[in-house]
Structure 1
Amino acid sequence: MVNKGASSVIDDDDNHGQEHPYDTDPHEHLEFAPFVGKEFNTEDDAKEYYNNFAYRRGFSIRKGNHYISAKLKNVTMVQYVCSMEGFPNKPANQSAPEKEKTCTRTGCKARFKIRLQEGVWKVSVFEDIHNHPLVTSLAEKQSLRSHRKLDSEGKEYIRDMRAQDIKTANVHKFSGVRHGGTKNLKFKRKDAINEIASQNRKLVGTDVEATLVHFQKKQEKDPEFFYDVEVDDSGRVKNMFWVDGRARRAFQEFGDVVTFDTSYKTNKYSMPLAPFIGVNHHRMPIIFGIAMLRSEEKVSLIWLFQTWVKAMYCKEPRAIITNEDEDSAMRIAIKEAFPNIIHRCCQWHVLRKAGDHFGAIYSIKPGFEDELKRVINRSMTVSEFEKGWRDMVQNYDLGNNRHLKVMYEKRSEWVPAYFRGAFFADMSTTHISESSNSTLKLWTNNYSSMYQFVLQVEKIVEGVWANESDEDMANMKAVPELSSFHLIEKDAHQVYTSKVMSIFKGILKKTQLGEVNEVEKDALYEVAINDHPIIQNWIPETYMIKINKSEELVSCTCKRYEFEGLLCSHAIKVMHHVRMFHLPNRYIMKRWCKDANARTKRSNFERSMEFGSTPELEAIRFATLKPQVMSLLKMASKSSDAFNLLQGILDVAEQQMQEVADEQETLTREIDTSTRIPSQVILDPPISQCKEKRKQPQRFNLQSEAKKPRRCGTCGSNKGGHNSRTCPLKKVHGKKREDDDVDSEKGQDVESDGAYEYEDLSG
């Protein structure tokens, strides 16, 4: 098939004195065709013009030969030809089999030649006659090589879309929507993939450097932004921690209880993400800093805890909740770094692990699961828990169960009865951390670089602050809706946030349960709840409430206020009984009030004017003055007059400051070295090579980083250097030896050898 077009020649040496066998097609519209003598300012302009024409005609171009002038030492002639020009090269060895390929050369004579004359590029030859079919559909034109291109705007659009966790295939589709369909795009899905891959390749070897530069830019915008990096002996990143200024301020109000979780490891370095998470006055999660660790050894954890406390202006939490783990590295690190706080293991993880071991028992012994949860959660005192546990083990004949013994030995680390008197803001599990982890899994994958990982984590943090601001605004506009005639509810509406108020309404509703019995007038009362209108098979409960009406003091044996910060229904029921109708101020915890974060949202200048000297105030004042001082230094460096002027001002200021501050540090000190990029070059951490390890979040061995010998899946042995495929026992009908023990961690742990005695910790 022959496609006829226009042919015009000005160079005799290029025409070879022959006429073209194809006449001009009268039906072909060549409005945009170049012509001999057309001028262009640059070679690129000429190439772009011819390529645009080729797109309309339906063929692809490539650069042909060119000529370099010996006199001018530059290119003076360039020829562009059709991509089908020439013929395929024949293999040197005809006898060797050649892989079949689609023919891409047909000897097409179409060409476009330009020459440099007097500083202008002019068309000297233009031939538009093709001996192959031309592409007519837009969908096929975008596949032509010279027309598949991404401009700077398209590349930026692809990067922005991918940064929002939109898959590459969808990026291509969304781009097509903007241009009326993918058929109108000049790039294909593969080009978008290549663009994203090229961006990832730029981070190879400079991942940490890009991350630290990003932190430095963040610090310029937010003077309270804090980060620190620890490197190993080879100069590679070992641990990294960062936190924004708002989180540091929020910790001063809501940092009484935090959860710490290291179970999320999805990045190409398999470094665990370790966030410190608490709850704000809206009962919503708030992130108090994020770390990435190479390992979970005691040394690394202690470094992280000490760095975190430093970032929080040397303030420590009152309690910390971690995942339940048999390894002691976490416990030891917390004990050494925080000797004065309460450490609690996540109850949810303990019960989930118990479900893996007790699956058979739950089926064989009906009622055991409910009884286990009742003893754990409904025991108000340690002695009550001890008695309930003994009765449960005896009634269900589980005195020999191995895992039940392990749970009992660690009871003081996770059973609520041992923490009734400590404040935990009703955070008994690390579900909040896991919720953030599940969200992060949607934004990252096993091959995310550190820089990309940090950017995605920051999106989650920004979402946290946005949610808090939305709730603050909603609380300002909220109109109280009373569900009862209690004056206590009216008092609570004025101070508590909407989320806390919804919980408090549930507490008020429960005051209808039970009866009040006077034990000692105006001093001691008993609330007995013998039945429940909704819950069947209700187990009677009794609570003792101490009260002092004159001093507005009240306490209950359930210790809900001590644990959660809200008065329990039993205490409020007795308050109504003795005619105490208002909510005492001493039982309104500020962290649950609407204005709990008012100080957090104040400007740095307002907080700098506060009286006193604390690590927080010192850091805020330093951050507030730093931009102004740096501006003066830049102006003073422009000339000797400005330098001398500032020098004189500083001498006077230093003398006056010394008189005021005496032994205080001068405000002209350098910025803390922990918040600067280290002077030495920091290398990227080693990339994890084990794909199986990076598929799902896994735990590191907290005892050591040493590699343990892998056990054979058939015989269970870790000796001999064999595995399940080369195991000698596999040849014997694939059965294990009878004397091999079944790993209790993988199967159902019903019973173990020998009973165990219970140690009474109630005293």
Structure 2
Amino acid sequence: MDDQTCSVQDSSDMSISSDDDGIEHQKKSSLELEEDQSATQADVLLEDPELGMTFDTENDVREYYKNYAKAKGFGVTRRSSNRDENGELRYLTICCSRHGKTESNSRNILKPKPTAGLGCKAKVNIVRGPEGKFHISTVILDHNHTLSPHKSRLFRCNKRLDYSVKRRLELNDRAGIRVNKNFNSLVVAADGHENLTFGEKECRNYLEKTRRLKLGSGDAEAVRNYFMKMQSDNPNFFSVMDLDDESRLRNVFWADARSRAVYDSFDDVITFDTTYLVNKYDMPFACFVGVNHHGQSVLLGCALLSNEDTPTFVWLFEAWLACMSNRQPKAIVTDQAKAIQNAVEKVFPDARYRWCLWHIMKKLPEKLGGYDEYEYIKTAIGKAVYDSLTIKDFEDSWMGMLERYNIADNEWLKGLYENRHRWVPAFVKDAFWAGMSTTQRSESMHAFFDGYVNAKTTLKHFTIQYENALRDKVEKEILADFNSFNSTIPRITHFDIEKQFQSVYTNSKFKEFQEELTNIMYCDRNFIQKEGAVETYKIVEDVLIDKEEGWRKDYVYHVYFNVEEFEVKCSCRHFEFRGIICTHVLCVLTHKKIKQVPSQYILDRWRKNVKRKHNFIRCTYGGMEDTPVAKRFDKLCNFFFPLAETGSMSEESCNDLIEQLRNLKIKPSGNSSSENSNEHLGTEEGGAPSIGETSKTILSPIAVRCAGRPPSLRK
């Protein structure tokens, strides 16, 4: 040991005197020293294989030679074997992993794939003797390549995942943690990659195998079996699968029991959107989204579609309508797609239908960017759309814009004007839309799922990740319910009206009311006239357009107040559109010292004390079940954690605990091996549940091209 130390010191001295050459020599010498030390330790721990060495079992032979190879620095693989009619091993050849040929099997000779083969002859032959023991009959120790004990952990034969790692990978995957972060947590816990017996690739392979075992091999069959399992847990789970003539999956729709119950409370307005490609089949993820009492997005069902034509949307809307007990929504917002419009008009004839305003306005550069006066045209269109309080105001502004810039012959603008009742705020603000003017609710739901699924997500895995995302969404609603129940937002004024809304509205909606109340300070109120019981007020609001530039603009509104019937309306129609009393109405009510507003101005959908059916229904039914092995493993871990915590307090207690555990001499039960072979973490023998299976196999969908995000954004 002293000689080795001196050798290292001499190398260090050389590095100082000879600069770069010395440094390189020092690194090389240190590496060789470590290799020699490892080889010395290997010689002590494991003797070289010799002719006649005897082993009791086949597994003993494999473990011995694998450990010997790991210590020496090479990988091993089984080359050949033979078994008798009873399945008993006759002979076995275990050789160096670099025994194969050096030629690449790549079809393109200009792009050969790497190969490990070097024709190495190192091997051992094992034969079974008459007494049942195994003997080494042939030994070749010489290799034709360099050995490296430090790289042994990277050989395939030395990579393994123990039970605790598998369990942790599955739980993290179930929680929606991506594989790279899942693996990194294991690296940190092990204090470095060198202390792990596996890599990220092994983790990915294991999780993919687990998902496949949980749901079956075929995507379409797996989804069907998954839906059957969900429905067996709760009969209110709803799913429909659309197949073509070849029994290939085209479209699938499902909604859990809680989503169906949510629609009972919030069926007044929904949005529908299909612009998000979610899996490897490029099937758009279409979702129905509503708004709950906190103003949060709630999922009312979703689908994966293989096409975006009118028949497909008709099929989907009819499936969703059947799921919701044939109760049509009062209002629906979609994008401008003609296929969706045709389907809505056919399936939801009684619903108030409008287009997403954002999708229309974002097309201005594409449709009108070629005009020399595009910037002025865009400003004029924005003013006509957003600043027009009445239909007449819009008509005048629009016609003036067409005439001023001579663009009346533009076909796109003609189509917009013909359908102005579907998208212009002045035409649609007379109905309740819960404040939605775009499909941003659907898009926010897509953003929510972004943390759980991606373009490589398989169809069978998507259904599980859908559950994880939905569970998280429901927890956010429960937390908002608790905050509204457990806390109160203080009032900012002494008006009795504020106290009234504070006591009944959820915290988020009361905040919106407070914002309207606060804006009274920017309003100038003038009494105009009184005709019978109706009083008319002119409200001039000073609105800040651009905070950075300080741009301000005065907007004029008119408030009509029927004193006898206590009916109040504003030309901005904020209450009709959002369900929250506007600043202009509050300006009049506070001036008249009104203490309480009638119940028609306090919507039940914003109340915090209303009992809603979906609050008593759990959001998910599958995905959390575990095998008996996993349950017992978790039970033992929970029992050992307090012991480990106590033992880690000092070195003495740690050593005592380890010694006590060693003295237990726990032996595996006789049936543990067979049980482990049949039971898999997170799945039962046989893969997916087979409730109600039919003999006809459902084929997975074909990857298709469809409308949605441009290719650059899909990536």
CA distance in 1 between counterparts of 2:530 and 2:706 reads 68
Equivalent residue for 2:124, pick from 111, 119, 124: 111
CA distance in 2 between counterparts of 1:333 and 1:90 reads 59
Equivalent residue for 2:75, pick from 54, 60, 63: 60
Equivalent residue for 1:572, pick from 568, 586, 592: 586
Compute the displacement of 1:242 (Å): 0.5
Maintained 8 Å contact 2:543/2:553 = no
- Name the amino acid aligned to 1:143: L
| Stretch deviating more after TM superposition (246-255 or 430-439) | 430-439
Residue 427 of structure 2: SS of its match in structure 1?
Answer: helix
Q: Which residue of 1 aligns with 2:248?
A: 236
Question: Are 2:326 and 1:314 aligned?
Answer: yes
Matches within 5 A, 1:91-490: 104-108=118-122, 111=124, 113=126, 115-116=128-129, 118-119=131-132, 121-123=133-135, 129-130=141-142, 135-138=147-150, 140-150=151-161, 172-192=183-203, 194-195=205-206, 206-325=218-337, 327=338, 329-359=339-369, 361=371, 364=373, 367-490=376-499
Maintained 8 Å contact 2:250/2:305 = yes
Question: Are 2:556 and 1:546 aligned?
Answer: no
- Name the amino acid aligned to 1:548: V
Maintained 8 Å contact 1:252/1:315 = no
CA distance in 2 between counterparts of 1:30 and 1:370 reads 84
CA gap of 1:274–1:540, structure 2 versus 1, over 3 A, is closer
CA gap of 1:489–1:285, structure 2 versus 1, over 3 A, is same
User: What per-residue deviation string (whole Å, max 9, x for no partner) do you get for residues 377-434 of structure 1?
Assistant: 2322222221232233334444344433232122111111112221111111001111
Stretches of structure 1 lacking an aligned partner (at least 5 in a row):
1-24, 605-622, 624-675, 700-763
Residue 553 of structure 2: SS of its match in structure 1?
Answer: coil
- Name the amino acid aligned to 2:576: E
Maintained 8 Å contact 1:522/1:578 = no
| Stretch deviating more after TM superposition (493-502 or 220-229) | 220-229
TM-score of the pair, normalised by structure 1 = 0.69
CA distance in 1 between counterparts of 2:130 and 2:154 reads 35
CA distance in 1 between counterparts of 2:695 and 2:311 reads 22
Percent identity over the alignment is 27
Answer 1 or 2: which has greater helix percent: 2
CA gap of 1:44–1:400, structure 2 versus 1, over 3 A, is same
Equivalent residue for 2:513, pick from 480, 496, 504: 504
Matches within 5 A, 1:516-535: 516-520=526-530, 523-530=533-540, 532=542, 534-535=544-545
Compute the displacement of 1:88 (Å): 6.3
CA gap of 1:151–1:40, structure 2 versus 1, over 3 A, is farther
- Name the amino acid aligned to 2:65: Y
Maintained 8 Å contact 2:557/2:584 = no
CA distance in 2 between counterparts of 1:476 and 1:456 reads 30
Maintained 8 Å contact 2:95/2:121 = no
CA gap of 1:552–1:137, structure 2 versus 1, over 3 A, is farther
- Name the amino acid aligned to 2:592: V
Compute the displacement of 1:315 (Å): 2.1
CA gap of 1:35–1:537, structure 2 versus 1, over 3 A, is closer
CA distance in 2 between counterparts of 1:518 and 1:690 reads 60
CA gap of 1:692–1:106, structure 2 versus 1, over 3 A, is farther
Residue 437 of structure 2: SS of its match in structure 1?
Answer: coil
Matches within 5 A, 1:595-606: 595-596=609-610, 598-602=612-616
CA gap of 1:64–1:389, structure 2 versus 1, over 3 A, is closer
Residue 441 of structure 2: SS of its match in structure 1?
Answer: helix
Compute the displacement of 1:152 (Å): 6.1
* CA RMSD, 1 decimal: 3.9
- Name the amino acid aligned to 1:261: D
| Stretch deviating more after TM superposition (573-582 or 395-404) | 395-404
Maintained 8 Å contact 1:159/1:196 = yes
- Name the amino acid aligned to 2:74: F
Maintained 8 Å contact 2:97/2:116 = no
CA distance in 2 between counterparts of 1:572 and 1:27 reads 85
CA gap of 1:55–1:126, structure 2 versus 1, over 3 A, is farther
Maintained 8 Å contact 2:488/2:507 = no
Q: Which residue of 1 aligns with 2:645?
A: none
Compute the displacement of 1:277 (Å): 0.3
Residue 291 of structure 1: SS of its match in structure 2?
Answer: strand
User: What per-residue deviation string (whole Å, max 9, x for no partner) do you get for residues 243-288 of structure 1?
Assistant: 1111111111112100011112332333222100011111110000
User: What per-residue deviation string (whole Å, max 9, x for no partner) do you get for residues 20-45 of structure 1?
Assistant: xxxxx987643344888987553124
CA distance in 1 between counterparts of 2:706 and 2:615 reads 45
Equivalent residue for 1:44, pick from 30, 54, 59: 59
Maintained 8 Å contact 1:247/1:288 = yes
Maintained 8 Å contact 2:292/2:298 = yes
Residue 80 of structure 1: SS of its match in structure 2?
Answer: strand
Residue 326 of structure 2: SS of its match in structure 1?
Answer: coil
Equivalent residue for 1:683, pick from 698, 701, 704: 698
CA distance in 2 between counterparts of 1:62 and 1:514 reads 87
CA distance in 2 between counterparts of 1:90 and 1:409 reads 70
| Stretch deviating more after TM superposition (421-430 or 233-242) | 233-242
Residue 600 of structure 1: SS of its match in structure 2?
Answer: helix
Compute the displacement of 1:141 (Å): 0.6
- Count matched residues: 591
Compute the displacement of 1:170 (Å): 5.1
CA distance in 2 between counterparts of 1:595 and 1:145 reads 60
CA distance in 1 between counterparts of 2:48 and 2:308 reads 68
CA distance in 2 between counterparts of 1:402 and 1:695 reads 24
- Name the amino acid aligned to 1:57: K
Stretches of structure 2 lacking an aligned partner (at least 5 in a row):
1-38, 546-550, 622-690
CA gap of 1:106–1:235, structure 2 versus 1, over 3 A, is closer
**Bigger radius of gyration among the two:** 1
Compute the displacement of 1:486 (Å): 1.2
Compute the displacement of 1:522 (Å): 7.7
